[in-house]
A = this chain, B = another copy of it.
Amino acid sequence: MAKPLNVGMIGYGFMGKAHTNAYCQVNHFFDLAYRPVLKAVCARSADKAKPFADQWGYESVETDWRKLIQRKDIDLIDICTPNNTHAEIAIAAAQAGKMILCEKPLAMSGPEGLKMVEAVEKAGVANMVWYNYRRVPAVTLAKQIIDQGTLGHIFHYRAKFLQDWTISSQVPVGGQALWRLDSSVAGSGVTGDLLAHCIDTALWLNGPIDTVSGMTETFIKERPGALSGQPEQVRIDDASAFLARFANGSLATFEATRYARGHKALYTFEINGENGSIAWDLHDLHRLQFFEYSGDGRLRGWRSIHVTEKEHPYMENWWVPGLQIGYEHTFIHQIADFLRGLAENTQPEPTFKDALKTEKVIDAVLISAKTGSWMRCE
């Protein structure tokens, strides 16, 4: 019988739901030595935490995260609060000796992230950041292909994350639901929100980025304040793009925006090597596009791999070939790997330290966009 691992969740929003679902589902589909127990959920307002706890089966509710962290019956703190709170909570949780799972991005900046890394390393606690797209089976398969050397020398990497939900100038800024448009809470706009995903995957698949040249824009400069009811200046970046050079010599383009009409969450990446190429797209996340330069020249083509076979990463735990899974499963895979890591005493990626690298690229992009100069990522 799997050993209990007591979870204290901070936050109950979109990500609170996604992570909680993962805790509920993971032992139904994966055979693991540990099982998460929904011990407590924490939010400033008990009125909001209570229905969430009831719906998902949390045993208790807290309204002060400091109190949660001190509870003896909590093994793991999951941080699902807005970005500007990650560091303080994580550092305190580390000092309290808790394992920590932190929603991405790790921090408001590289220096802040560094303090978090130092805290978890000093405390020696297990830690991980929820860059969930690494655990899309198609993306994990891409990693396997690359690690086998199938692509040969890499020439190009390109990634985009396109959304369209802030095109209307009536979308307000700030408040609980829309903190992503408030720079004091979110840190940055699409750079830290969307490009962070693109950068995390890129560093994982293609290694370190040396230098970047960035460009950002705020298309709608004033929006209604959700709390103030008054027009407020928008300080986040609505769109962000950058050129990059990887340490392995490959060139890259990255772009994210919330103004690409017709795209809801179109995270795509493509990597071109000497002997092959790979492309992927979040809107059809269960497929991987793969080109291999080999064999009969007449028969070469991009193949669309329907990633639902037993041989595919994570898929033998689900249904039968041909039956696709979706977005929420990436979180289940991540917690499954985390729990397996606990049992095997390994530390699954991305750790805080891994996620810090992404923060450094973000910082370089934002500075470059201001100065107009190329920046080194460190």
Residues of chain A touching chain B, judged by Cβ–Cβ distance below 8 Å, are: 1, 14, 18, 21, 24-25, 27-28, 54-56, 141, 144-145, 151, 155-156, 158, 160, 162-165, 167, 213, 215, 217, 219, 239, 241-243, 245, 249, 251, 253, 255, 257, 259-266, 272-277, 282-288, 290-293, 297-306, 308-309, 311-312, 318-329, 372-374
Contact = CB atoms under 8 A, between A and B. Distances in A.
What's the number of copies of this chain in the assembled complex?
4
Contacts of A1: 54
Contact of A18 (B274, B319, B321): B319
Contacts of A263: 272, 277, 322
A326 B286 contact: yes
7 contacts: A1-B54, A151-B261, A155-B261, A261-B276, A265-B322, A292-B299, A319-B327
B305 A304 contact: no
A24 B28 contact: yes
A213 B274 CA distance: 27
Contacts of A319: 14, 18, 327-328
A141 B326 contact: no
Given A14-B320, A242-B243, 4 more contacts: A165-B321, A264-B321, A303-B304, A319-B328
A326 B14 CA distance: 19
B326 A323 contact: yes
A284 B282 contact: no
A283 B302 CA distance: 12
B305 A239 contact: no
A362 to B, nearest CB: 17
Contact of A215 (B243, B292, B309): B243
A265 B321 contact: yes
A317 to B, nearest CB: 11
Q: Residue among A282, A323, A325 with the most chain B CB within 10 A? A: A323
Contacts of A311: 297-298
B251 A239 contact: yes
Contacts of A282: 322-323
Contacts of A25: 24-25
Given A28-B55, A167-B274, A322-B282, A306 B264 contact: yes
